[in-house]
Structure 1
């Protein structure tokens, strides 16, 4: 019975289309550093970002992460026109 209730609640939340609140313009670089550090498995201290730029109707923040012996990796964070975070895109191929 508990499983059915939990499954019903999960389905309700998933179908509601709930989104996180937009990230304020001044907080986007820090948010980007946090997301990139998670993607690359490092601390935000090793992530550097440039100023946001307008791109494809939203904003992009380009940056680098120092992976030590693996080298410097380039990435970009994307935000839509409302300031919602879209994703972190790797810009440096890793030979995969």
Structure 2
């Protein structure tokens, strides 16, 4: 009986740890959004954040936030993108605004 309880408790702890480590959503403060956006865009485009420029934060009617920017990819040119955040400040994604011709 004690072994069964210990096994169940161990399983519960394991499930809690897995759930906690599965990309928890967290709000990004407005002051940190441009830097966070540059980091995410640089990762998506495979470049350094210093080659990424971001504009001002725009607020949509539904309360969501976005930041438009550009990334200099050298010989591949300058690509436009938009970082999107929900109304709570949770990062959604980086959306390409420049077609890669695909």
TM-score range, shorter chain: 0.7 to 0.9
Give the secondary structure class of the aligned counterpart of 2:98.
coil
- Distance change in 2, residues 1:38/1:10 (3 Å): farther
Cross-structure match for 1:36: 41
Structure 1 unaligned blocks of 5 or more: none
Cross-structure match for 2:96: 90
Tell me the distance in 2 between the aligned counterparts of 1:54 and 1:90. Answer: 19
Tell me the distance in 2 between the aligned counterparts of 1:69 and 1:25. Answer: 33
State whether structure 2 residue 63 is matched by structure 1 residue 67: no
The structure that has the greater radius of gyration is 2
Structure 2 unaligned blocks of 5 or more: 1-9
Please report the RMSD computed on the Cα atoms of aligned residues, expressed in angstroms: 2.5
Q: For 1:46-76, what per-residue CA distance to the aligned partner results, in whole angstroms no more than 9, with x for missing partners? A: 0000010012421000000000000000000
How many positions carry a matched residue from both structures? 90
Give the secondary structure class of the aligned counterpart of 2:56.
coil
Normalised to the residue count of structure 2, the TM-score between the two structures is 0.77
Tell me the distance in 1 between the aligned counterparts of 2:90 and 2:15. Answer: 22
